[in-house]
Structure 1
């Protein structure tokens, strides 16, 4: 069992097997996104919602394949921060890590706010902050405890989604004609909706960023990422079909809580409270996995000096990056108390798409002996990430670009200071 990182610092403990890695990926993906993203995606794509889901899935598959091949070669905490640094150079690694930490911190806040909105709408911000504090405490005690909690959350969420699918597809109110592609669907609308739906797929990075805590990572990570993604796609497709059959594109677009509205329209209103509870639990699962991933990337960047070195500490007993986790938890709590949910989601999506664009560019440089994916995979993934990023709402694009520019300036300042020394 490894006890030190490549630079001699205390390392994280390898505790996670294939099942745990898949479950952590599911906990990050099968979360609040499916409960929240369908309505705005339907409003953007109209009857093109299912094609938009397919586009998002193709881009996610390419990203997952590239990430899996890279993670098998570089089984360290940090994900694309490490891959970009090793394959493209320190600047691209820094930019990937910067975009990931900034974007996913915003995503953590969005998930926390989703917990509050579903669990207790009148006190959503207070609930959001409490959720952040509680899950930060769970992560602090060790990744194995986090994995067990994630298993329970995933089981609950899948059961709720199965009830939604059953209600939507077996109801006499369901109409298969509502699934047909109509004249309101446009290429721009489909791409815009795919960008929104991609937010719900982005959790497979949690498996890669936990590379230093996975047993036999060269075998486990390449198997866990596509397994988690494939299960998630099957679940999302079934839920989208059921919701469309029950509500139609217009009804789905107008729904404040789309899956709760879907079961009501299907004639099973007693399921609506269960769906709301499931949404809150799903958001908790996403938040738990997100904090894990952000803290591990923060650890990797601190080890390399891109963030304060104090954040590189690993707890001597629990063997987790405890200072990074506390710092991330504090930032998320502040954002949850002050930020706007829709703005946080848009900003997060931009940062994550840039992050995966760098992952695909890194995968392109792998040789055949290093486990290079088919050439089409990183090409489609890179082009898809950039295309979906620019289809996001303009404020998200502008804010995301400004934050990336700030990260680039910080890198230049730091590099200049090192040369001066």
Structure 2
């Protein structure tokens, strides 16, 4: 079996948009808002806006690059083509380690909503194994299942919003100095800047799913046209959903209760007094997390495939299945690693570590897009400058433990690559 066997182009615009939505919706709404509210309070809304702006900058860079280089690998490929092999490896390694942590976070989020206490880790491991099997049998099955999971998630979120709006607004946490009309949202002057930026870094974890579309560039039909449109459409829908849910959650619970909640959207729905909503929201949260996990596995598998083809990961991982046309060895290996992680980590630690890797990944994407010639440009260069600066600022404000672990793992990867290439005389 050739390591250079091509993947099949089977995904249209709708498939690509739903894969992006499946990667984002669920990660943010059900796993990020509580820790973001805990560090920023009402500043969560400002953090959401900052994360959305930086995500837009990164999305334009990814769309512009994907139109020029429509193959698997995402920024790993773009970094190699525009900046050199070392930059490409740094991007690919950051993506793989960050998104592997995201897989663990999503599996644990699914189990937290779907199972009783004490069963979360074994159920999370079982979910990983099942979704690796789904990916193994072909990308069209992945896209079809993702559509179902996204629609179910949006229905559950609609229930949350309706129930939350029917409840009285939270009292006792109003900030008056910068309050806007209505008396419940503070002005920026009342917010701690570090807390706002840290919340933006955590929330950014939830926006990173649009990259999944770019990493699957070898499987999208008419990629030069489809990928840019799919990335921007998926991001626009996700920003609208996140903003709506964030405002309703803060209005209903207040920042203190939101930050302390283990299942915040269940609490929002319960505040409306609709007893039937709790199981609906739990099912929706579980399905959203499964949708994110499913798309994450697909995206990491494609980036690992591209890195293995170039010898930056073991070439054993470069195989494409002769019948199902998927990088089956890469995905099976990923499944084993993620199962090990879910048995060892917690959700909040996984989110911080994931954000570290993903922000560095997009820093390289912006830098690569900045170097593109006028003929390949679709967006102004200042967007890439803003994206690079934003990524670095958000990395610096992440929890210190996440930064230290991220730096150590990144250094191990780069050092290991250097020694491996030196031993081969490359």
- C-alpha separation between the residues in 1 aligned to 2:238 and 2:281? 18
Q: Is the 8 A contact 2:30 2:109 kept in 1?
A: no
Residue number among 118, 143, 151 corresponding to 1:122 in the alignment: 118
Residue number among 412, 415, 423 corresponding to 1:417 in the alignment: 423
Match of residue 44 from structure 1: 39
Change (3 A) 1:37 1:8: closer
- C-alpha separation between the residues in 2 aligned to 1:350 and 1:173? 35
- Is residue 2:353 matched to residue 1:382? no
Residue number among 74, 92, 107 corresponding to 2:87 in the alignment: 92
User: What's the CA shift string for 1:47-70, capped at 9, x where partnerless?
Assistant: 211111000000000001100100
User: What's the CA shift string for 1:333-391, capped at 9, x where partnerless?
Assistant: 11112222222111111000000000000010011101252111110111101110111
Match of residue 276 from structure 1: 282
- C-alpha separation between the residues in 1 aligned to 2:290 and 2:358? 20
User: What's the CA shift string for 1:162-196, capped at 9, x where partnerless?
Assistant: 11112222434468533333775111111011011
- Is residue 2:379 matched to residue 1:373? yes
Structure 2 runs not aligned, ≥5 long: 172-181
Q: What count of residue pairs does the alignment treat as equivalent? A: 415
- C-alpha separation between the residues in 2 aligned to 1:40 and 1:269? 26
Q: Is the 8 A contact 1:47 1:184 kept in 2?
A: no
Match of residue 224 from structure 2: 218
Q: Is the 8 A contact 1:47 1:181 kept in 2?
A: no
Match of residue 74 from structure 2: 79
Residue number among 162, 170, 180 corresponding to 2:186 in the alignment: 180
Q: Map 1:220-259 to 2 at 5 A.
A: 220-259=226-265
Change (3 A) 1:8 1:282: closer
Residue number among 28, 32, 35 corresponding to 2:23 in the alignment: 28
State the secondary structure of the residue aligned to 1:122.
Answer: coil
Structure 1 runs not aligned, ≥5 long: none
Change (3 A) 1:29 1:134: same
The alpha carbon displacement at 1:14 in A equals 0.2
Residue number among 171, 189, 199 corresponding to 1:193 in the alignment: 199
Match of residue 352 from structure 1: 358
User: What's the CA shift string for 1:191-221, capped at 9, x where partnerless?
Assistant: 0110111111111110000000000000000
Which range moved further: 23-32 or 167-176? 167-176
Match of residue 17 from structure 1: 12
Q: Is the 8 A contact 1:173 1:267 kept in 2?
A: no
Q: Is the 8 A contact 2:113 2:285 kept in 1?
A: yes
Q: Is the 8 A contact 1:366 1:372 kept in 2?
A: no
Change (3 A) 1:239 1:354: same
The alpha carbon displacement at 1:293 in A equals 0.5
Normalized against structure 2, the TM-score is what? 0.94
Q: Is the 8 A contact 2:170 2:254 kept in 1?
A: no
Normalized against structure 1, the TM-score is what? 0.95
User: What's the CA shift string for 1:193-251, capped at 9, x where partnerless?
Assistant: 10111111111110000000000000000100010000000000000111111111222
Match of residue 133 from structure 2: 137
Q: Is the 8 A contact 2:3 2:320 kept in 1?
A: no
Q: Is the 8 A contact 1:46 1:184 kept in 2?
A: no
Which range moved further: 7-16 or 365-374? 7-16
Which range moved further: 166-175 or 19-28? 166-175
- Is residue 2:296 matched to residue 1:290? yes
Match of residue 317 from structure 1: 323
The alpha carbon displacement at 1:266 in A equals 2.6
Match of residue 267 from structure 1: 273
